[in-house]
Amino acid sequence: MPFIQINTSSKSVLEDNLLQKEISKIVADLTGKPESYVMTMIQSNSKMTFAGSDEPCCFIKLKSIGSLNPSLMSKSLCELIASKTNIKANRIYIEFIDIKATHWGYNSSTFG
């Protein structure tokens, strides 16, 4: 049920399938949820600015039913993205969204 969506202005740095798999694994580890429930989405080459600059930047949404620890997760996610791309950690925003189990559908039902 964790879902991570990454939008970036970078054209190709996040298109590597290995990085997407790393992101899936780290989200599972950080939330304590089975990776079989983790969904990832990467949208690159988005028209974005940050602080008035078009230098590469990134916006991440992480949604989960509980299990969110924003300060720990922010550090881990920023470090991963910054280490594998040309996006600096101070050009990454992350939105953490805790979803009610009754508001998350899966396999013709909900989790709550």
Give catalytic residues, as residue numbers.
2
d(CA 9, CA 47): 6
Q: Look at residue 69 and give its three-state secondary structure.
A: coil
Cα atoms in the 13 Å half-sphere on the side-chain side of 35: 9
